[in-house]
Amino acid sequence: MNHKADIMGVFVDQGTLEDATNRCIEFMNTMGCKMIITPNTEIIMSAQKDSKLRQIINHADLVIPDGIGIIYASKIQKKGLTERVTGVDLMHKILEYCNENQKSIYILGGKPGVAEKACENIKNKLSGVEIKGFRDGYFKEEEEGKIIENINRLNADILFVALGAPKQEIWMDKYREKLKSKIVMGVGGSVDVWAGTVKRAPKIYQKLGLEWFYRLLKEPWRYKRMMVLPKFMIKVILNKQ
């Protein structure tokens, strides 16, 4: 079952973290490379103006509501999303699955050293995960062919891509047909969380839907990007009528 909620023209999968995890396990046993996108409010707003980005998201195999704004929008417009399903949580679930089933991963993205540190911490916590490789996310377009070749040669079951949004979504869409991995997932800052270079908001902020506020306190220079949240809510309310 995969019902989609139409959030301002962007189709987001309904269901819980458990549902999303089960979908990923299904993907591991099907043909082709499945693409997972974890949009926040900012990406949904960008997709309003950028039809190519909207198309990329709407062609993904699994789209989870990572941003609390998406849940508010769904509540206001009665679209059926019940809870936030974050990329960082789904990545964790996938890694647990890999740990238990001897599956392998490759991490692409982050500043030099970040993916490597993330892999080291994953291995320490979940020793059954096979790390096939990693590489930072600052490369030239000319190098991309070689990067794909290398990931395919290493035969990683899952490719986590952390190039920031929407760069990672565009990148995954461009190469998904060429990839031999079963899953390619855009994980953004989750790699920094695994590496320990960024701390996730304490549980209380997560529970209250205030993770964005915690992030604003920690990274105040992001305020301009975050101004999109109130703008998005106004749009959602106006669209309701």
Task: Give the per-residue contact string, 102-141, with ligand UDP (x = CB under 6 A; - = no).
Answer: -------xxx--x----------------------xx---
CB 149 within 8 A of CB 181: no
Site membership for ligand UDP, residue 91 (CB under 6 A): no
CB of 5 to ligand UDP, least distance (A): 21
Instruction: Tell me the closest approach of the beta carbon of residue 157 to ligand UDP, in angstroms.
Output: 21
Q: Counting contacts by CB under 6 A, is residue 191 touching ligand UDP? A: yes
Q: Which two tokens stand for residue 161?
A: 């891509």
Beta-carbon count within 10 A of 154 CB: 16
Do 36 and 185 meet the contact criterion of CB atoms below 8 Å apart? yes
Identify the residue among 163, 183, 185, 193 touching ligand UDP (CB under 6 A): 163
Question: Helices 41-49 and 51-58 sit at what angle, rounded to 10 degrees?
Answer: 120
- Total residues contacting ligand UDP (rule CB under 6 A)? 15
65 belongs to the binding site for ligand UDP (CB under 6 A): no
Taking CB positions, which residue lies at the least distance from ligand UDP?
137
As a whole number of angstroms, the distance between CA 135 and CA 88 comes to 19
Applying CB under 6 A, which part among 25-33, 91-99, 123-131, 156-164 lies near ligand UDP? 156-164
Closer by beta carbon to ligand UDP, 126 or else 198: 198
Figure out which of the listed residues 88, 91, 165, 179 binds ligand UDP, where binding follows CB under 6 A: 165
Torsion (CA) 22, 27, 33, 36 in degrees, nearest 10: -10
3-state secondary structure of 177: coil
The residue among 57 and 103 lying less far from ligand UDP, judged by its C-beta, is: 57
Residue 69 touches ligand UDP, criterion: CB under 6 A: no
Closest contact distance (angstroms) between CB of 114 and ligand UDP is: 6
167 forms part of the interface with ligand UDP (CB under 6 A):
yes
DSSP E strands: which ranges in 39-110? Answer: 62-63, 104-109
Interaction between residue 68 and ligand UDP (CB under 6 A)? no
Tell me the per-residue interface mask from 193 to 222 with ligand UDP, x by CB under 6 A, - otherwise.
------------------------------
Q: Which of 209, 241, 206, 236 is nearest to 74 (CA)?
A: 236
DSSP string, 188-240: TTHHHHHHTSSPPPPHHHHHTT-HHHHHHHH-GGGHHHHTHHHHHHHHHHHHH
CA-CA distance, 191 to 213, in Å (whole number)? Answer: 20
Q: Which residues bind ligand UDP (CB under 6 A)?
A: 109-111, 114, 137-138, 162-165, 167, 188-189, 191-192
